[in-house]
Amino acid sequence: MISAHRRPLVIAAIAAAITTSACTPACTPASTSEAPTPSAAAATDKGSPATTTSAGAEVGKPAPDFTLSDLDGKELKLSSFKGKTVVLEWFNPECPFVKANHTQGSLKGMAKRHTEKGVVWLAINSGAPGKQGHGIEVNKAGKDKFGIDYPILLDEKGDTGRAYGAKSTPHMYIISPEGVLVYKGAIDNIPGSDPEKDDKVINYVENALGELAAGKPVTTKETEAYGCSVKYASK
């Protein structure tokens, strides 16, 4: 039995332990064969999942232009798509959050639905040589595995990722036909979720694209992105 004079110290210690071990919802993917537990995600990512609002490109301002090469060496320039809505998806084929999103989450089949309506969808991998998810063959394998039929662009130096303030994979950006950034942040509100089974999932990108197509202003302009940290080259 704990003596009366020691009870405050014990209670304080228990409270501190709970606070230290607590995990935010953003680091707890739903149960899935592809989505790991928070500890597994951290081990794969060599650190905690990124959950932070980025600096970089500002919503309401012109989106930074860039020219990057796809997996076949073809150069694509963002400004060449002016007049069309463009979605940028920061990508890492070996990130557990990316795997979960493309196999059962909000990104599964999403790009196809919107590219058929004229939206341009581009994945960008800002991972540096030697880092997780880097390399043409690794990305080609990921493209095949996830059934991706849109370009994956390589940003090995990280200049484009830093210009946008991309912090995680996936990190999503939407650019209006006028070339203005209208959304940046998470794909949805529940990491590792299955939208077909969970009616609490809010797909921010889906909603924003729908508003743009209807000629309405985007309601939710910025959210906190979640996922693995972008594996930038050291400066």
pLDDT, tens digit, 9 for 90 and up, residues 46-81: 433 444 445 789 999 999 999 999 999 999 999 999
Q: Which range of residues forms the domain containing residue 120?
A: 25-229
Comparing C-alpha atoms, which of 41, 95, 86, 42 is closest to residue 66?
Answer: 86
The residue among 104 and 198 whose pLDDT is bigger is: 104
Beta bridge partners of 169: 228
Residue 137 pLDDT level (bands cut at 50, 70, 90): very high
The residue among 62 and 9 whose pLDDT is bigger is: 62
CATH number at residue 198: 3.40.30.10
Q: Classify residue 3: in a domain, yes or no.
A: no
Q: What percent helix, strand, coil does the chain show, rounded to 5?
A: 30, 20, 50
Q: Classify residue 124: in a domain, yes or no.
A: yes
Beta bridge partners of 51: 226
Number of domains into which the chain is organized: 1
Q: Classify residue 10: in a domain, yes or no.
A: no
CA torsion sign for 231, 181, 205, 113 is: negative
User: Is the confidence at residue 199, as pLDDT, over 90?
Assistant: no
Q: Classify residue 1: in a domain, yes or no.
A: no
Rounded-to-integer distance, Cα 223 and Cα 172, Å = 10
Lowest mean pLDDT among 43-47, 93-97, 99-103, 228-232: 43-47
Q: pTM higher than 0.75, yes or no?
A: yes
